[in-house]
Structure 1
Amino acid sequence: MVKIGNLELGDFPLLLAPMEDVSDPPFRAVCKQNGADLMYTEFISSEGLIRDAAKSVAKLDIFDYEKPIGIQIFGNEIQSMREAAAIVAEARPDILDINYGCPVSKVACKGAGAGILLDIDKMVSMTAEIVKAVNIPVTVKTRLGWDSNTIRIVEVAERLQDVGIQAISIHARTRAQMYKGEADWSYLNKVKENQRLHIPVFGNGDIDSPEKALEYKNKYNVDGMMIGRASIGYPWIFNEIKHFLATGEKLAAPGLEERIAVTKKHLDFSVEWKGPKLGILEMRRHYTNYFRGMPNFKQYRAEMVTAETYEHVCEVLEQVSDVYADHVF
């Protein structure tokens, strides 16, 4: 049984990665219904929380049916992160997660996210202060290092454990790699081989099929996996991996009506939570993924991503249901 603090997550939990502009409540809802064991919010700016910025505060929205859920914060000032952590705790998540992995320049080049990998001492000090500031489990999401010359992840994991974090998720790339090249999970195996380390280690990066999940589980000895990009438009991946790990057999891919039903459910929640205008607008990034692999789908995709009303999107989904009724995935 994998545990974070007193939180029991099963024998090999699958986590939904915190993804900016993706891991909002509507998306988390469909992932939860399709097998995600633990989910994280989009990352939230510590400075935004302290200033009570509307966009940052909105990301604190969590719901009982999502539990267990973690709220993730990022920032480069220790005092601001302490204050933000206290605000997060008031939202009553199960976990507070610290983002030490975001590679985008506007975050990392200001010393936040993966930028803090250039200052491990500050990373440890900041973490220690956040752990002291809250009474819920603190976890960390990070990368192997800033670049191939600064990979100190074995040391980092141990030092962060020693100041109180209760789990670590490691994206098996450096900041310099961004999301390119192959993730190198061999470093995660080295982290797990450290006999002083006793907290759960979750692997992240390139898990896009049940077969790969099983291979990496057996090869790298991680305690669970965090799945990001592969879940976008395909929340079924969580249950597919679970079934394959348990039985060695692959579940059939979801059919057209299932894809339409989940798209509609996602759309409904998006409109309910964000309002009709923003809810429609921010769903556009998901349609291509929900219907990936459909032949001659360009015209329907174009119509969905330009539709401005809920009714219009639903009309297009009905057309897709009729036109592709016999399509097999």
Structure 2
Amino acid sequence: MKKKFEGANIVIIGATGGLGTSYARAFADEGASILLAGRNELKLQELAQALPEKTSVAQVDITSAESVEKLAVLASKWAEKIDIVVNATGFDVRKSLTEHQIAEIDKSVNINLIGSILISRAFLPHMRANKGSTIVHMGGFADGRLAFPYYSVDVATRSGIFSFVESINRELQQDGSLVRLTYFCPNSADTTAERPFHSVWKEMGISISSTDQVAAELLKAVEQKKTIYIMGGIATRFFAKLNSLSPKTADILLLNKYGAILKKYFGSNESKKMNREKKNSSLKKIALCMVVLSFGLYGLLPVVPFISFNLSLKMVIAGTIMGISEILFWLGSLILGKELIIKYRNNFNFFKCFGKL
């Protein structure tokens, strides 16, 4: 039986990454000839040796227009017809905007957005006449425009890619070209880069996909000639659409909850400090109430002798009031601090007063 991509010539950029490697293996298993591209030639060679013989390698820096142009020329010489280009590169930073380093912002924009533009610009002239040819770019979670807090720069680049792909596809249609760009949004995957964040996704109730599962979905997106492909099922696609139509509704239904979880992991140090101070302030108010209540209970002691009980029961009641008062006071004092305890020892030790009576 003929394999799905038998005879297809595929360029995979960022091939040595967690997803890029799985894409390469998946296409190779389906009979494709593959040109592996990336920065690390040694890793590219190691991957090529693990794949069928119809595999070549090339170095590229997608942040350099000259480097990407050279790759496109090399690819056009490597294969008479380039069927698919997969841009599997990506970089993201998850933290408060104020804590982003300028170098991190530059890297996110240059790799995610500018890199996608440079790849498309370089390869389209070599593919424009090829019926069914595809350039695939990576989006973010859902449709990439789901603006999670602490993902600000990353989501800006993914949203930019979404609009770029949409615009170029309309441009190609106007030109009568049968080439298309695909915006592929993978689920959170079990890669080395993503593994440290698995606990976050799990707390949010979002499943983790294997890299093989993501690769299978990518092949399906290409085979079905999709221009936008979102992993995660109907619920994820629905929520992505809802967020684009009514962000406030999306906030109420889910994003506010997600935001609180993400803040716990990625919030700024200043934000975390403010939260701690807020919690401490609330705790101190409770502690102050405990201290005040302890004095209030002590204020009931003069009433005890006038209660119509026998002497032994009065002693029990008085002792209970004093015991509860002491517990409340000392617990509250421990929270409020040493200063109050010292003042109490010097001026308000009721046990000492009681002993003098």
Larger Rg, first or second structure (1 or 2)? 2
TM-score normalised per structure 1: 0.34
